[in-house]
Amino acid sequence: MNINLEKYPLDEEMLAYMEKCEAHYPANNGKLNLEDNRRLYLAMSQVFEATIPAGITISDQQVAGRNGAIPTRTYNCSGNNSDVTIMYMHGGGFVVGNLDSHHSVCAEIADKTGYRVVAVDYRLAPEHPHPAAFEDCLDVFLAIDQGSTILCGDSAGATLTGSLCVAQQGTDRQPIAQVLIYPWLGGELHQLESYSTNFDAPGLTVEDIEDYRKLRSAGMPSDNDPIYYPLALADFSGMPPCLAIAAEFDPLRDDAVDYVERLEAARVEATCHVEKGLVHGYLRARHSSSKAAESFSRICQGLRAFGAKHPSQRCIGV
């Protein structure tokens, strides 16, 4: 593990987390062949899997989409009397990840919020380049939404969260809120500072981003398409309220900051937290890092607060 600790002063908990990650999933993973990349990513994810909280029931379903059946997984907590649903989209650069890679994350979100969580197993690139993942997630949203859906995702899943909000802008089928966790929104188009200051950050580098960008778009990124990069959107008015969470030591850090600033300029309720001392992908460290645990609690509190504001909310309390 080669980390410049003067530039990226990680604490002992985060250093131990990074060492554990790299023991199972090497740096420059975007250059691995596809089979190895997915296998090693899932193996690394399983190392950090936590015990599913008591009272959580889990079931798998399929949603009929325009391109075929889309696997989903639903997490319910006992005592839930709410009509709020959190639709969760996993990270992985649009290339790796599935329902299993973020299994306990979704279960714990359901436990800590008291809301139903529906995770989406969208199609992955490069076999299914953009807009395949977006189309799958939109089809699931339209199938499950009853007017009380919060969209949430990490990394590529946060990209999809923003993309769905863009797609539904001005329609009568909008999410009630959006929660983006270290999102990839197209900050490189605007030469945001974090792409230069954090270009070699532990956990994710600018080179990694470019590798996954090429795979996502089959080599032809749609830079001016806000469905591809939500920061390309010209008018942010009427978008859902937003909580965006960024990691301090992440090239994508300023994507979240810029996105929230644009929402606020359009008079949309929006908040951004830049989590000090954390790196991209830190959700996996929520049981080993006090900083990651605090951030995960903040995320769950934000999700619960958005649901509590919804007029149809009937949650008794968990």
Q: Give the span between the Cα atoms of 52 and 111, in whole angstroms.
A: 9
Say if strands 149-154 and 177-181 run parallel, antiparallel, or are unpaired.
parallel
Q: Give the span between the Cα atoms of 179 and 303, in whole angstroms.
A: 7
- Residue 221 pLDDT class (50, 70, 90 cuts): low
| Structure confidence at residue 312 (pLDDT) | 60
| Structure confidence at residue 218 (pLDDT) | 83
- Residue 29 pLDDT class (50, 70, 90 cuts): confident
| Structure confidence at residue 315 (pLDDT) | 41
Express each pLDDT in 195-205 by its tens digit. Answer: 999 999 999 99
264 phi/psi in degrees, rounded to 5: -65, -40
Show Cβ contacts of residue 268 under 8 Å, excluding neighbours closer than 6 positions.
236, 237, 238, 239, 240, 241, 242
| Structure confidence at residue 224 (pLDDT) | 86
Express each pLDDT in 136-176 by its tens digit. Answer: 999 999 999 999 999 999 999 999 999 999 999 999 999 99
> Domains in the chain, start-ordered, CATH in brackets?
17-309 (3.40.50.1820)
Express each pLDDT in 65-116 by its tens digit. Answer: 999 999 999 999 988 889 999 999 999 999 999 999 999 999 999 999 999 9
Q: Give the span between the Cα atoms of 72 and 60, in whole angstroms.
A: 6
Express each pLDDT in 227-268 by its tens digit. Answer: 999 999 999 999 999 999 999 999 999 999 999 999 999 999
Residue 86's DSSP bridge partners are: 117, 150
The residue-averaged pLDDT of 106-128 equals 97
Q: Tell me which residue of 186, 263, 260, 266 sits closest to 227, measured CA to CA.
A: 186
Express each pLDDT in 270-309 by its tens digit. Answer: 999 999 999 999 999 999 999 999 999 999 999 999 999 8
